[in-house]
Structure 1
C-alpha cells in the first residue's frame, strides 16, 4: 500500500478502481456516500488523478445525478475518493464512474500519456478506459437495472437484490452480451482474501456465492477490435462491479 502517491499510470499494468457503499439499502432523502479506491484486485495502492473521470448515479428511469469525487481523509486501508449524492425517490440506483485515459508505448515498452498526435513515432497507441459500478436500493425494490449504453463494457446485476446469497451478473458490450470473457472474482473482508476465475456463458452471465460478509468484486479486461487511424491502434476496457455483504 502506497499512501498519498499518485499511481495513475499503473492502470496499464493492471490497476483498476472499485466502489463500495456503507450499506446496500437506503431511504429517500438519505445521503449515500460511496468510497472509490484504486489498486489491484481490491488491494489499495495510492490514488489516481481525477481530471478525466466522470461520476454519476442513475435511477431506474435513466435520470442522472452528477457527482463530484472528493478526496477523503483516508483510513487504515489507504487513500480513497468520496462519491456523495442524495436519492429522492425509491428504486434501484446505479453508481458509476467512467475514467478515460490514453497511452502510447515505445520500443522499450515504456508507456506515456497521450496519443499519436503527441507522439507521432510511437510504437503502439492504446485507449485504456475503465468503468466502475455498484448498485444500491432506495426503499424496497429488486429487479434488473437498465444498462447505461455509454459505459461500453459493464456488468449489470441480473436481477439486482440488495440482500442475496448468490450474485448474478451479465457482462455487456454496447447492449450485447459478452460470451466467453474471463472474469476475476475477488473477496476481501479485512482479513481473508481470495480470488477465483470464471468465464461468462453464451448470454454473458456469471454467478457466484456471496454468503460471507465482506466485499466482492468482479473485474474483467476486454480488448476491442477498434481504433482510430493515426491516433489509437486499439482499445482495452477494464470494468469492475462491487457488491457489499453486511
Structure 2
C-alpha cells in the first residue's frame, strides 16, 4: 500500500535533517528490533523526505557492516528492521544525499551544474544520522570501527546506558581531525511529551563538548560543516550534517 506523506525533502537546504529513533530500549540477542527514520528540524517532525537517496546500514560489534532495507511505515517516518544475533554495541547509520544549486535568480533548484551550468553555486547536502543500541548485558565495548569514521561525526567519549544527572562527553570530528570552537544544536524532549527544548553548545579547542543530561528523555545532537569539496561538473562544495540520537532513562530499582 502506498503511503501518502507531506514531502519536505527540499527543506534540507534550509536546515531540515533526518534522525534515527529506536523502537525499543531493551534488547537481547535474537530480538527483532525496529529503527524509525524521522525528518524535520531539531527533533521536531515536519513531513518526510523522499526515499530516493536515502540509505541505511548497521555496524556490528565485530566491525562488519550490513546494509538495511528501508520501508514505509506511516506519513511521519520510515522504518528499518534488524535482528541482532550477537551481544555488543550496534551502530545504526542513515545517509541522505541531495544535490541542489542556486540559480541565476537566486532560487534553490534540485539538480547539479550539469542541469544548471550558469548556477551561482552548487552543493551536495550530505547527511548522516547515527544511533547506538546495546544488545545484551555485561558488554565489553571495542574501539570505534573504521566504518564510523565519517566526514563529520559526533563521537561519544563512552557509549553506555546513560542516566539522569550524568555529564556526557562528546567530540566533533571530521575525516582528518576535529572541529574546534564550533556550534552544535541540542534538542531535548522529556518523558512527559512536552515541546522540544532547543539550545546551543560549542566545542572547545579540541573539539570536545559535554551534555548535562539533567532529565530523562530523548536527546539529539545536530552538527553541520560546509567544506569546499565537490565533484567536477556537478557541485563545488559539500554541506555535511550529522545527527546523533540518544536517550537517558532512569534505572529501574528491583524490589
> How far apart, CA to CA, are the structure 2 residues paired with 1:194 and 1:146?
32
Q: Where does residue 252 of structure 2 map in the other structure?
A: none
Q: Where does residue 105 of structure 1 map in the other structure?
A: 102
> How far apart, CA to CA, are the structure 2 residues paired with 1:115 and 1:215?
37
Deviation readout 1:13-49 (Å, 9 max, x if unpaired):
1100111113444111111211111011111111111
Q: Where does residue 113 of structure 2 map in the other structure?
A: 116
Correspondences of 1:184-199 after superposition (within 5 Å) = 184-189=185-190, 190-199=193-202
> How far apart, CA to CA, are the structure 1 residues paired with 2:123 and 2:54?
18
**Which structure is larger by alpha-carbon Rg, 1 or 2?**
2
Q: Where does residue 53 of structure 2 map in the other structure?
A: 52
Q: Where does residue 159 of structure 1 map in the other structure?
A: 158
Aligned to 2:74, what secondary structure does the other structure show?
coil
Q: Which runs of 5+ in 2 are unaligned?
A: 250-255
Aligned: 1:88 with 2:89: no
TM (norm. structure 1) is 0.90
Going from structure 1 to structure 2, the CA distance change for 1:170 and 1:102 (only over 3 Å counts) comes to same
Q: Where does residue 247 of structure 2 map in the other structure?
A: 244
Q: Where does residue 68 of structure 2 map in the other structure?
A: 67
Going from structure 1 to structure 2, the CA distance change for 1:186 and 1:142 (only over 3 Å counts) comes to farther
Name the Cα RMSD after superposition. Answer: 1.9
TM (norm. structure 2) is 0.87
Going from structure 1 to structure 2, the CA distance change for 1:214 and 1:142 (only over 3 Å counts) comes to farther
Q: Where does residue 182 of structure 2 map in the other structure?
A: 181
Aligned to 2:234, what secondary structure does the other structure show?
coil
Q: Where does residue 22 of structure 2 map in the other structure?
A: 21
Residues 60-69 or 130-139, more deviating:
60-69
Correspondences of 1:225-240 after superposition (within 5 Å) = 225-240=228-243
